A and B are shown apart, each in its own frame.
Chain A
Amino acid sequence: MAFALTSQPEGLSFKEVIEKYPQVPALVVLKIDVQRRGVHYTDRALSAVDESVHCLRGAALFGYRDGKLTPRPESLLLRDGTSIIVDPTPLEQDPYVVDLIDSRLVLTDNGKVLEEVEYWPKPAYYDKKTSSGIPMRYIATARPQRLNIFQPDFCRFWANDKGCLFCDIFNNFKQQRKELGIPVKIHPHDVSETIREALKEPGFFTNICLTSGSKTGGNQPFDEEVDYYVDLLQAIGENFRRRRFPSQLIATAFSEPQLQRLYESTGLMSYTADLEVLNEDLFNWICPGKAEWIGYKGWKERLFRAASIFGRGHVSTGIVGGVELARPQGFTSEDDALRSTLDEAEDLISHSVNVVYIVWYPRPNSFFHDQSNASLDYYVRLAKGLHELRVKYDLPIDYDDYRRCGNHPDTDLSRLL
């Protein structure tokens, strides 16, 4: 198994970036850098894991950075309530180190203690099974305030070898099915039972997020995927008193009739279809399946339609921040990459389609496994740039913020809006 590059690219240090951008909170900069470099848990840190109260990783859409499925802490919480969604990372890649010092769980770098952190809390339903015998932790995974219905699944774009080049969903799906026995397909009644159980824990969850791989089948392309989500969302909706419930679907860019059906026949409140990279040429290279079935312009047009159906502040697209610098076809300059990305983000945001990013790290089971991600300076500028566009166009991102997601440094900044 191949790993990503063994060292991070040269650039400004964490301390230098904090000094350069005093308006960006140090805790957010730290989160970005931890996501960028990954973490290593010392044995002492792992000894502090209590499986009865801490969330260990269960079913996941994507694989770990070290390619192993050994149960380890799902992720971390900072003292400002921010989540750091981050994977265990091989030591040779120079990750941050999570250690237990003086009975405190801390994030360290080169032996220096930077911040106290916490493991994510575990919901009680993790120890229960559905009536069909499936562990509920394989049906819905828990973030500190969000329920994820993430079906580890086969993405049909991989059928003719056109999966996204940064993605490892297919290889991870195979590995999880083989090593953990995670179900190939989750059924609506299992989801409904799991949600019902999760709702018995007051104050634990504020949002439900669904996603899976793209499914191209059906009378019209992707009808199969829409059917799947409609069934799941209707099953989830059985548990609520009112029709609409705080929820997010991250899916393929559906046609207008499909979007209408999704909105009208379920309680879904927000919709996300990830463009992954905001440049048509790079999209065609990096996301060949999406390009083949829908195309860059078609994807954008569908997002615009979605905004008119779900409403302003309820539609977004995600990008894999830094993948626009992937070799050999990506930008060779971070300045050019940032300018191009933010220009295109402005076009989307000005049309009421929000743009959020995740920090790209080359996954060992992806095509880009031997590349490196962007500099910390780049990711901070990207977070700041997207946030400023949201301010400029007064476009809220309530359903995908620090609390309801926690994986987007740019939306962490929205806490001040």
Chain B
Amino acid sequence: MSEKLDSDVAGLLADPSTVKVLVTVGEDGTPHAVIKQSLHLDAEGNLVYLELLESSRTNRNMVRSIWYNRRVAILLKGKQGESYQIKGTPVKAIVSGPVFQQHYTRIRYQLGDVDLAAVWVIEPEAVIDESYAVRKAQEESLHPHWLHLDRLAKQSI
């Protein structure tokens, strides 16, 4: 089920200073995390990243994901400490045509003599706010037993 990303997450994706990490899974379940600053939103609300290397582990894991319906995760860390995780599924690998060529031309303009293996489209399915303050509040609300007692002790003891 596709998840629409809210304006905070969309803003983080559009901000070049945001750290963007893509996590894929290998055949044996080993996770593989790499920084992918090309991650952005397309007009349909899907996540897009540009894979420059056909032989990269990420690219092969993405192929495995689209073939066997395996999810990937994207982590965003903003300059104000905001942190989100997006779960999604690769739904398309664009390897030719006008969209591919536009990205090919743009990335070469930005980075110089690089190639482009694929424009991967990832459909977001869930967004989790991973910032500590939000997660702490959630845990305290849902799991009131999970804390050390000294945190509750009167100051005089």
Contact = CB atoms under 8 A, between A and B. Distances in A.
15 contacts: A79-B91, A80-B63, A81-B95, A121-B97, A144-B96, A145-B95, A202-B104, A203-B101, A203-B105, A204-B96, A204-B101, A403-B95, A415-B60, A415-B63, A416-B64
A144 B94 CA distance: 10
A416 B60 contact: yes
Interface string A380-417: 00000000000000000000000100000000000111
Chain A interface size band reads 20 to 34
A410 to B, nearest CB: 15
A121 B63 contact: no
Interface of A: 25-28, 53, 77, 79-81, 118, 120-121, 144-145, 201-204, 403, 415-417
Contact of A416 (B63, B94, B95): B63
B126 to A, nearest CB: 22
Contacts of B66: 27, 79-80
Interface of B: 27, 54, 60, 63-64, 66-68, 91-98, 100-101, 104-105, 108, 116, 118
Contacts of B67: 25-28, 80
Nearest to B64: A416
A415 B104 CA distance: 20
Given A25-B68, A80-B66, A121-B98, A202 B27 contact: no
Contacts of A203: 100-101, 104-105, 116
A53 to B, nearest CB: 7
Contacts of B118: 81
A73 to B, nearest CB: 14
Contact of B105 (A25, A77, A202): A202
Best-buried of A79, A80, A403, A417 by chain B (most CB within 10 Å): A80
Given A203-B104, A204-B101, A416-B27, A145 B63 contact: no
Contact of B95 (A27, A144, A202): A144
A394 to B, nearest CB: 14
Nearest 10 Cβ contacts at the A-B interface: A203-B104, A25-B67, A144-B96, A81-B95, A81-B93, A121-B97, A203-B101, A79-B92, A415-B63, A80-B66
Contact of A145 (B68, B91, B96): B96
Contacts of B101: 201-204
Contacts of A25: 67-68
B120 to A, nearest CB: 10
Contacts of B100: 203
Contacts of B96: 77, 81, 120-121, 144-145, 204
A201 B66 CA distance: 28
A417 to B, nearest CB: 8
Nearest to B102: A203
Nearest to A415: B63
A53 B60 contact: no
Contacts of A81: 93-96, 118
Nearest to A119: B97
Contact of B93 (A53, A80, A120, A204): A80
B108 A53 contact: no
Nearest to B97: A121
A317 to B, nearest CB: 24
Contacts of A120: 96
A96 to B, nearest CB: 20
B78 to A, nearest CB: 31
A202 B108 contact: yes
Given A80-B66, A120-B96, A202-B101, 8 more contacts: A27-B66, A53-B98, A121-B97, A144-B95, A144-B96, A144-B97, A145-B95, A415-B60
Nearest to A204: B101
Nearest to A26: B67
